[in-house]
Structure 1
Amino acid sequence: MKTILAKEKIYKPSLDAVKEAASRISKVVLKTPLANSFTYSKRFEANVMLKREDLQQVRSYKIRGAYNKISSLPQEQLAKGVICASAGNHAQGVAFACNKLQAKGVIYMPITTPRQKVEQTQMFGGEWVEVVLKGDTFDDSFKSAMKHRDQHGLVFIHPFDDEKVIEGQATIALEILEQADAPIDYIFAPLGGGGLLAGVSSVFKQLSPNTKIIGVEPAGAASMTSSLNEGKVIELAEIERFVDGAAVQKVGSRNFAICQQNLDDMVCLPEGKICQTILDLYNKDAIVVEPAGAMAISALDLYAEEIKGKNVVCMVSGSNNDITRTAEIKERALLYAGIKHYFIVSFPQRAGALREFVAKVLGPNDDITHFEYSKKHHRENGPAVVGIELNNPADFEPLVERMKRKNFYGEYLNDKPNLFQFLV
């Protein structure tokens, strides 16, 4: 990690401020379990514990920071109303707080936000909130919300770059240290804008300085990793929006300064790897999580040797997942695992060509899962887009060799994003 070069004083949440936040939110926010994971403890030969923030009323930790911020506003500010921008979880926290405190709120969300998160936001806010869908990314919504704030004099509730929000998220650390029955060696937590890790890392550095703090973000939106590498906050021109709870183009300046000093490591994970963890948690532990909620656990195998015999905490940050995304989650997981492959196959335009492909090219355990073909007259060969699911990643090279030997091979599509986007 690079050190801070600036001479100005860096904001860090004090323990007194975090304890005050814990008291303020205590009647609204649940003290979520710190549960031992039999599955991951056995796999990694460690004591792996899951901090289950997915069990909050709004199904994510975001209620902590949102409620702490809004409930701390002076009455004259609260009376004017509040406004926020969010990819979903912060929106639900703000909506819940507005309803509870009977304060008017306007909530901007990207048009691409899963419907489940939009509906939940409207449900938690009731008559007290107005939801506005604007822009393709969080950053688009953020800019629109700031214009609305300036026009109507509302108080903006930032999802991560705000002192009261950071202090609210930091209350998770107090709970973990209270619940753990032994010193914690490692803590893994997801990172989007950085509010969660800024708060949690600050508490741990003061109360448990020997704990290794590992931040985890999606490879397609590696805004913190990029900023740490550059030694300053930078804005990514483009991001992959799949991990919507952690897909931001620019991290918070306060959070960057804190994380730059506090994090022991920063990990970027492929979205497909995160998808496999989502499926594993559901199939093996009956835990439903959103992509951001699976990130911390997804990083464990990168530290398999280091965490053996250690006490490890993983933040399960949220469970606001839309069931309609299941097919895409499975597809991304299979692609990452090297099980699913797409090709342009060149079929001779004669009877029996497909039968020959199935009988002499496909392996005994290979399965065609996608097939698009249109016969072209007056040509010797006709292209088809074929999706093939393998039983084992090792079967890929032999499959390609057979396709080439039998003159069926046209083009491999998995590594051609401009074409591949039409399939996945």
Structure 2
Amino acid sequence: MPSQPDAPAPAADLALPRARDIEAAADRIAGRVSRTPLQRSARLSEVTGARVWLKREDLQAVRSYKGRGAANLIAQLDSEQIWAGVVCASAGNHAQGVAHACATLGVGARIYLPATTPRQKRDRVAAIGGDWVEVVVGGRTYDEAAAAALADVERTGATLVPPFDHPHTIAGQGTIAREISEDLAGTSSGPDVVVVPCGGGGLLAGCLTWFSERSPVVRVVGAEPAGAASMIAATHAGEPVALPEIDRFVDGAAVQRVGSWTYEVVAAHTPELVAVPEGRICTEMIRLYQSEGIITEPAGALAAAALDSLDGSLAGLDVVVVVSGGNNDLLRYPEVMERSLIHEGLKHYFLVDFPQEPGMLRQFLNEVLGPDDDIALFEYVKRNNRETGPALVGLELGAREDLAPLLARMEEASMQIEPIQPDSPLFRFIL
């Protein structure tokens, strides 16, 4: 997701949240958001040797945890602020969370969506908010929608509801940590490790706040997508910094710059942060669906995908991973499968320059391809309007171990074959 709109200058009475603020938030939003279950994952438990629990925030009414922070912030507005209403800009889960909070609390909202937002997402935000929400298409891009939202705030005096960078938002998201502690208290001494996805840092900051005061032995881990590791960049720089470029695939956690409030909490507690490759996230999305029957968005699988990146053994521990959202577009599954196969070493791309001789394609099929290799893509690259260049060939292998023999056969073939590396600009065309 692009950079979020900055919140107006904080009021003088605002301060970093404490555990007591999270407890108050839990009481404040009770009945307005769901208390989601912890479910044991037999698959992840077997893989790690731990007792792995899934915190199912995908089961919220808006299929993500975002309604927690929005409800906690909006519920604390005074009568004058309620009269002026609230404003937010989002093309994703935050818009739905604000819409749900406004509908349950009876507060008017204008939600700015970029023109690129699919019609079904616009309709869902409108359906969730009902008569309390006005959906405004504000600009061609997210940045233009965010600018329109800020202009609205300045013009009308409405309250901006930030997606993560506000103490009330952080406290609302931190109610997840309190629920985890209470639910595991009945089955064990409590969680040993809690892994949460990190985009702008609201959920991570909330969990750090709760556990640092109420259960400081808990190891809290923040998982970021490798293509948008903005919290890791901030900790290295000593302050929030804007990444020059990000991979937006994990859109629920792909943030160019983390929040100032959220960074301050993270900097104070220095949790473990891990960057998870996007392909690994895709593989976990597929496994969650195939094994647990859970449909997640990319950010929803981020914490579970981080387990094999953690330092040290998890054996025998109670490990909780937050499944943060399930708002996935079915049209994205071909790209999910593609990224997963590439990450698993089962799909590779090559530029093949066939000699202008009869039978060369047949030779490639007979002498280069292995018995379990399939051609997933074959397309000639245009040199100009009259002449074609080499062929772009995508091969799907039966097993990762089949790559070395394939490359050896390519070396012996009487044709020029160039592997395309994942960092090549051609991959943007492929994906």
Do these two structures clear the TM 0.5 threshold for a shared fold by scoring above it?
Answer: yes
Normalising by structure 1, report the TM-score. 0.92
Cα deviation for residue 229 of structure 1 reads 0.7
Structure 1 residues 99, 36: closer, same or farther in 2, change over 3 A?
same
Cα deviation for residue 284 of structure 1 reads 0.9
CA deviations on 1:224-270 (whole Å, 9 max, x unpaired) are 00000111111112211111101111111111010112243000111
> What's the counterpart of residue 297 of structure 2?
290
> What's the counterpart of residue 329 of structure 1?
336
> What's the counterpart of residue 76 of structure 1?
80
Matches of 2:85 and 2:69, distance apart in 1: 17
CA RMSD of aligned residues (A): 2.4
Identical amino acids, percent of aligned pairs: 47
> What's the counterpart of residue 35 of structure 1?
39
Query: How many pairs are equivalent?
Result: 415
CA deviations on 1:96-120 (whole Å, 9 max, x unpaired) are 1222233221222355556654432
> What's the counterpart of residue 44 of structure 1?
48
Matches of 2:226 and 2:396, distance apart in 1: 25
1:39 aligns to what SS in structure 2?
helix
Structure 1 residues 279, 136: closer, same or farther in 2, change over 3 A?
farther
1:125 pairs, out of 125, 129, 135, with 129
1:25 pairs, out of 7, 19, 29, with 29
Deviates more, 1:185-194 or 1:411-420: 411-420
1:222 pairs, out of 215, 229, 235, with 229
> What's the counterpart of residue 172 of structure 2?
168
Structure 1 residues 114, 270: closer, same or farther in 2, change over 3 A?
farther
> What's the counterpart of residue 327 of structure 2?
320
Cα deviation for residue 11 of structure 1 reads 3.9
Matches of 1:22 and 1:374, distance apart in 2: 58
Matches of 1:303 and 1:374, distance apart in 2: 42
Structure 2 matches for 1:238-387, cutoff 5 A? 238-303=245-310, 305-373=312-380, 382-387=389-394
> What's the counterpart of residue 234 of structure 1?
241
Matches of 1:305 and 1:15, distance apart in 2: 28
Q: Is 1:390 paired with 2:402?
A: no
Structure 2 matches for 1:405-420, cutoff 5 A? 405-420=412-427
Q: Which residue identity lines up with residue 216 of structure 2 in the other structure?
A: P
Matches of 2:376 and 2:252, distance apart in 1: 30
Contact 1:90/1:159 (CA < 8 Å) preserved in 2?
A: yes
Cα deviation for residue 138 of structure 1 reads 5.4
Cα deviation for residue 35 of structure 1 reads 1.2
CA deviations on 1:333-357 (whole Å, 9 max, x unpaired) are 0111111111111112333221111
Query: Mind listing any 5+ residue stretches in structure 2 that lack a counterpart?
Result: 1-12
CA deviations on 1:123-169 (whole Å, 9 max, x unpaired) are 21223323345568755543442223212322100110111111111
Structure 2 matches for 1:189-208, cutoff 5 A? 189-208=196-215
Matches of 1:221 and 1:208, distance apart in 2: 30
Structure 1 residues 278, 116: closer, same or farther in 2, change over 3 A?
farther
Contact 1:348/1:381 (CA < 8 Å) preserved in 2?
A: no
Matches of 2:211 and 2:330, distance apart in 1: 35
Cα deviation for residue 71 of structure 1 reads 1.7
